[in-house]
Chain A
Amino acid sequence: MAALKIKKGSTSHSAYNLRPNFSDEVETHTLAVLVDNEPGVLARVIGLFAGRGYNIESLTVAEVDHTGHLSRITVVTTGTPQVIEQIKAQLGRIVPVHAVHDLTVEGASVERELALFKVSGTGDKRVEALRLADIFRANAVDSTLESFVFELTGTPGKIDAFADLMRPLGLVEVARTGVAALSRGSE
């Protein structure tokens, strides 16, 4: 676990970064969890969150290294600093977990989410939806005479904002992928 300098198998060499912060303020953290892509591994991670009462705001998972059979699970979670540290330490205990990165504390990172929006309507509303989509650089990936499906990529905040704008213009359905995130820079 890089954030805690905890190597695989879950123990830290340096305990200094375990110095506690027992503040009561709830923070949002984005964690990247590298796991062996084997049956049940996602259940282990989700089961940990459910069993210990941690929050999941967003979760994405896919294989990222075909030959190494590695998957990357990106979890956005909330909790006090103590709870966030517990979540990371608990994740680190799971045998098929290779590394846990706390992107929120490990320097700058980029976060993106993809969403699809179905908006139906005619007349002015339809024109306005298309105009706003253009401003947000959303692509129309399907259209009929009464509807559009827009595709939008961006931060969760941008997607929320677009959804808010589409709602009065005939938003029918939204599908979101959840957050994918990487640290910035060369490493």
Chain B
Amino acid sequence: MTRQMTGAKMVVQALKDQGVDTVFGYPGGAVLPIYDEIFQQNDIRHILVRHEQGAVHAAEGYARSTGKVGVALVTSGPGATNAVTGLTDALLDSIPIVVLTGQVPTFMIGSDAFQEADTVGITRPCTKHNWLAKDTDTLAETLHQAFHVAQSGRPGPVLVDIPKDVQFANGTYTAPEKSDTTIYQPETKGDITAINELVEAMEKAERPVFYTGGGVINSGPKASALLRELVEATGIPITSTLMGLGAYPASGENWLGMLGMHGLYEANMAMHDCDLMINIGARFDDRITGLISAFSPNSIKAHIDIDPSSINKVIKADIPIVGDVESVLTDILKVWKARGRTVNRDAIANWQSQISDWRKVECLKYVQEGKIIKPQYALSRLEALTKEHDRYITTEVGQHQMWAAQYLGFEDPNRWMTSGGLGTMGYGFPASIGAQVAHPDSLVINVAGEASWLMNMQEMGTAIQFRLPVKQFILNNERLGMVRQWQELLHGERYSHSWSEALPDFVKLAEAFGAKGIICSDPDDLDDAIMEMITYDGPVIFDCLVEKHENCFPMIPSGKPHNEMLLGEASTQGVIQAGGAVMV
């Protein structure tokens, strides 16, 4: 059956056929035909954001919290350029999103027309793939291919740029099942010889560790379930990157906590001293490895990744396995069970007791005394009072983000949304909106810094308009805290422009938008205030005034190996030497 329709109608039809229920967007001249179609239907809900960056981050929050593809719709020129940060963010964190941009009509492309930008040119390096749809007859197939590419293999952002005349013209609609997706078919099954080799290494290892990442989450809930089964059955300790939190439960017996620059002492020490490192869906990011030449010097490294370019990019893999985490873990379990479920029990027991000794360092210990709230205390209380809830957490970027990763526990995948690879201040608030749209009855909290939060605060309008009861939990230190910390450690305490001057009164700001504002500065009031935030049926801005000069520890200074972590304020002066100083 062939169906004739306009390009604009095709866009809406393709979204429906792809199972899309929500689009985050902002209209403009070059997408008016599509907005006209959106107006005339009720299957797809359009969430009007207040800035296109917000639309893309909201789509990311939606995608990350559901496992589905997030969709954003923006106009040409400034609409498209405003989407660039979100696209780059999604590329670095492998988040599947489809961004649709309007474009000037084909016959005006190249003429510097009003609101013309070379969108495919600008977004080529920050998308997994992009298309300029020049012909209405092939538009539907392109849209279906876009969804296919976004979610197949290593997920990522894609963009389809649709000129206005293509939206107006009539053409033939192609259904998803008639569209050619052979253009992109990544292999998902891991090489069985390498898997056997890994299982053999697991059987012999004396000090093994699982190092897991966002790839486990991207692979789907089944992958997390298999990971849990493998960890429980083998007793091998497990750590995770920032992006992978929740794949293995924080309450799990073998959980070491997050690793990396601000990771836990026991996790980083285990990485440094292990004899077998099993990387599952992580990419040896520089926040994880520290000084490469001193990274886990005595271990055999297995690396499971769906993207061959991740393997041997940074760290040489002794046992490389290219494949989807779910498929590879299925095979590992199968082989390991068939070979008799062997592990080196005695050695692993010793390893675990070594790890318990490291745990005794209590690297996250802090002292809450006096009348000033420590940020760590605020997060511990937030954790205690919300962990039983059906909860989704997003964050902004900075110290608060690292503290959230350290002090909040994640029991399930898809519950934690943070900007890891790009480190985008302004991500958390719109991402919380996306997560709340997807989970209207859940408790969605954005753990924010005051400076990051201001970067996309306009989205308060969106939260109010769509009755999204997102909780903005701002750890207000009146500082660009993470910047200040680096200036303290690296630049002789010269605090160049790392203050948050002229901050708004957040309570009044909330009220100005019609939301609830709560301010809390006394540790004794904190529990009640958090309860008030949770029970309020609507968006809340929570201004939590915290200690202004708290530093985030543990910290592996740039250019240092894992076993040279800083644990506290003592002797932090001059710790980052010239070699590390050039690194970010």
| Residues on A facing B (Cβ under 8 Å) | 4, 6-16, 18-20, 22, 36, 39-40, 43-44, 47, 51, 82, 85-86, 89-90, 92-96
Name A44's closest neighbour in chain B (CB-CB): B124
A/B interface sample: 17 pairs, CB < 8 A: A9-B184, A9-B187, A10-B309, A11-B186, A11-B188, A13-B322, A15-B190, A15-B320, A15-B321, A20-B317, A22-B316, A39-B132, A51-B125, A86-B312, A89-B313, A92-B309, A93-B307
C-alpha spacing A176/B400, complex, angstroms = 57
Given A4-B308, A6-B187, 15 extra CB contacts under 8 A: A9-B152, A9-B184, A9-B187, A11-B308, A13-B187, A13-B322, A14-B193, A16-B191, A16-B194, A18-B311, A40-B121, A47-B124, A85-B312, A86-B312, A95-B129
Closest 10 CB pairs of A and B: A89-B309, A11-B187, A9-B186, A95-B129, A15-B320, A9-B185, A18-B320, A11-B186, A20-B316, A20-B312
Could you tell me the distance in whole angstroms from the C-beta of A80 to the nearest C-beta in chain B?
11
Name A22's closest neighbour in chain B (CB-CB): B316
C-alpha spacing A93/B125, complex, angstroms = 12
- 8 Å CB interface, B305-342 against A: 306-309, 311-313, 316-317, 320-323
C-alpha spacing A40/B127, complex, angstroms = 13
Whether A12 contacts B322 by the Cβ 8 Å rule is: yes
C-alpha spacing A22/B188, complex, angstroms = 26
Given the contacts A22-B316, A51-B125, A86-B309, A11 and B323 also touching, CB distance less than 8 Å: yes
C-alpha spacing A89/B153, complex, angstroms = 14
Interface of B, secondary structure class, is loop
Tell me, yes or no, whether B189 is within 8 Å of chain A by CB: yes
**What 1/0 flags go to B185-223 for Cβ under 8 Å of A?**
111111101100000000000000000000000000000
Total contacting residues, chain B, CB less than 8 A: 34
Q: Which residues of A contact B321 (CB under 8 A)?
A: 15
Q: Which residues of B contact A95 (CB under 8 A)?
A: 128-129, 149, 183-184
Whether A86 contacts B313 by the Cβ 8 Å rule is: yes
C-alpha spacing A10/B186, complex, angstroms = 6
C-alpha spacing A13/B183, complex, angstroms = 18
Tell me, yes or no, whether B518 is within 8 Å of chain A by CB: no
Q: Which residues of B contact A14 (CB under 8 A)?
A: 191, 193-194
Q: Which residues of A contact B128 (CB under 8 A)?
A: 95
Whether B308 contacts A18 by the Cβ 8 Å rule is: yes
C-alpha spacing A15/B323, complex, angstroms = 9
**What 1/0 flags go to B91-133 for Cβ under 8 Å of A?**
0000000000000000000000000000011001100110010
Q: Which residues of A contact B153 (CB under 8 A)?
A: 9-11
Q: Which residues of A contact B311 (CB under 8 A)?
A: 15, 18, 89
